[in-house]
Structure 1
Amino acid sequence: MKILVIEDDRLLSDVMNRILKFAGYEAIFAKDGAEGLKIAKDNDSIGLVFLDLLLPQKNGFEVLKELKGDDQTKDIPVVIVSNIAEEAKIKECKENGALDYIIKSNISVNALKDTIKRYLKTS
């Protein structure tokens, strides 16, 4: 299964790509919400989505709601990766179907690997 990373920050995307490759995972990257939705809907081998909230075209909240509201993508695990550390936003994301929420400043190789092991859909 592949991991879809929807992130507009090129530097963070590069870092995540290196971490995921090193850990043995195949990743697909989207630079905005609309592209991420299209990839998720067109690719049935997505086993996990890492989703930023502040994105061009469609923001992460919209993407999350669309993913969870579509029969084709509703079962794909979604983990939010964002700089927004407000408790209300974290709660809103989890209420709308996100399984976890990682603050970007707290991101580490081990945190990503643990999150993938916990949530990656294998079939």
Structure 2
Amino acid sequence: MKILSVDDSAIIRKIIRSGVELLDFELLEAADGMEALKILAQSKDVGLILLDWNMPGMDGMDFLLKVKNSESFPDIPIMMVTTESEKENIIKAIQAGAINYLVKPFTIEELMKKVLECVEEGA
């Protein structure tokens, strides 16, 4: 299974890559929502999206809503991985369709645990 990390921070994508590869998943990377939509259109086997909220261009919430309202890939589970830690934002993301939420900064262990939860929930 492939996991798509959508985050404008190359450092965060590198940290996510470390955890995802330890779990033996393949990681695809996008620096923003538009790039991520292109990857989704080309890769039919993305099983989970790890999504940052604050990105230039299309932010994480816009991307989340676009994916969940699409005809092509509304069933791909999405986990927010973001600095947005306010309760209202977490609720907003879950109501929009995110299945899990991880607040930055996080440890590799926390990331791996949440990814496994999402994979099991999405299976």
Common fold by TM > 0.5: yes
Aligned-pair Cα RMSD in Å: 1.2
Equivalent residue, structure 2, for 1:98: 98
CA distance in 1, matches of 2:116, 2:11: 24
CA distance in 2, matches of 1:23, 1:108: 14
Residue pairs, 1:32-51, within 5 angstroms: 32-51=32-51
Greater than 6 Å deviation, 4+ residue runs:
none
CA distance in 2, matches of 1:39, 1:63: 13
Equivalent residue, structure 1, for 2:54: 54
Q: Kindly provide the CA deviation profile for residues 58-110 of structure 1, in whole angstroms up to 9, marking residues without a partner as x.
A: 000100000000121110000001101111111110000000111012x2222
Equivalent residue, structure 2, for 1:83: 83
CA distance in 1, matches of 2:8, 2:81: 11
Aligned with 2:55: secondary structure?
A: coil
| Percent identity over paired residues | 26
Query: What count of residue pairs does the alignment treat as equivalent?
Result: 121
> Any unmatched runs of 5+ in structure 2?
none
Pair 1:117 & 2:109 matched: no
Aligned with 2:58: secondary structure?
A: coil
Amino acid of the residue matched to residue 117 of structure 1?
A: L
CA distance in 2, matches of 1:18, 1:100: 19
CA distance in 1, matches of 2:41, 2:91: 26
- TM-score, normalised to structure 1, is 0.92
- TM-score, normalised to structure 2, is 0.92
CA distance in 2, matches of 1:19, 1:110: 8
